[in-house]
Amino acid sequence: MSTSPLQKQSLLSCPTIPLRDGTSHPAIGFGTYKVGFIPASASSVVSGATNEPQRTAEECVREALDVGYRFLECAQFYGNESEVGKAIKASGVKREDLFLCSKVWTTTIEKGDEAICAQLDKTLADIDTDYLDLYLIHWPVPGKHVEAYKTLEKLQREGKIRNIGVSNYAVEDYKELLKEGIAMKPSVNQIEINPFLYRKNTINYFQEEGVVLQSYRSLRDGKAMDNPTLAKIGAAHSKSPAQVLGRWCVQHGFVYMPKSVKKERMAENAEVFDFELSKDEMKELDGLTTPEAFTTFQALYRKCVNRDTTKDGTMEGVKMDITID
């Protein structure tokens, strides 16, 4: 499938969101999790509910760049950064036209400063660039994440990272950073956000702090596409459920990060800048989060902050009382 010039231009000229230093962050990006590679501790692998990927990350990212995506969301944990690098090189897209983000994984965070510095050098080599636009702490590993963040501050001063941030941080994790005397507040917090997990108090807190929110699982891994509310609102705008979810993210001011291994879906997911949801439609979508969703989120947080570390499977150091809504 080829992308129309109009579709591509819409992505190339997509809106941006200013980070605290004035950097322009694209309002939409291509997520590379489970693209060409599925990590061993991914929940779908652990549950036995996954198949081997059918296409390489290089193929998928090349297509995403061809469609017009210029923000690529990567991570050490995703296991495919060298493939992302190959795709960028093959695409011919100039480095200055890209916004590249990566995240450092829990195992490296636990090992400390030297390991984090070495991992960043590996990420830069794999992606074939001399700097990242954004580097994030993937999870707030208890007893380790504050020092890891301070290492990111050092790497930013060295020029290897333009902006630094966090991922999966609760309000209480962020307050811990502030209490421990960090020099630079995070630019970004990447958390799951969609109408089925809309943590309004948490979101409002970070936005008031000037922290831009990146939304992962923006499309809820495709598990809500038959939701009648999405279908009804989509029909009113001649849009798909995925496009409604994407528009909801964009309209709330979150960075929207859809992912797909199919080029036609990559293009479809990005068509969110040519319509607007009404206040009533936004309110209806905001109301789709159930109390059970908050409970599920809290259990996942407790499980994942120690994931893959020497404390995996324990609650050692885990904050048991966090803001879940």
Task: Dump the DSSP string for 13-46.
Answer: T--EEE-TTS-EEESB-EE-TTSS---TT-HHHH
78 is catalytic: yes
Tell me which of 78, 149, 256, 301 is the catalytic residue.
Answer: 78
Displacement of CA 149 from its chain's centroid (Å):
18
Cα–Cα distance, 215 to 34 (Å, whole number): 16
Cα–Cα distance, 241 to 268 (Å, whole number): 11
One-letter amino acid for residue 321 of the chain: D
Measured CA distances, 314 to 109, 112, 207, 281 (Å): 17, 20, 32, 42
Tell me how far apart the 2 most distant CA atoms of the chain are, in Å.
54
The answer to whether 319 touches 172, Cβ cutoff 8 Å, is: yes
The answer to whether 129 touches 96, Cβ cutoff 8 Å, is: no
Tokens linked to 13: 């000229």
Range 2-7 contact pairs with CB under 8 angstroms and sequence separation of 24 or more: 3/66, 3/67, 3/68, 3/263, 3/267, 7/67, 7/68, 7/267, 7/270, 7/271
* Neighbour count for residue 75 (Cβ, 10 Å): 22
Active site residues: 78
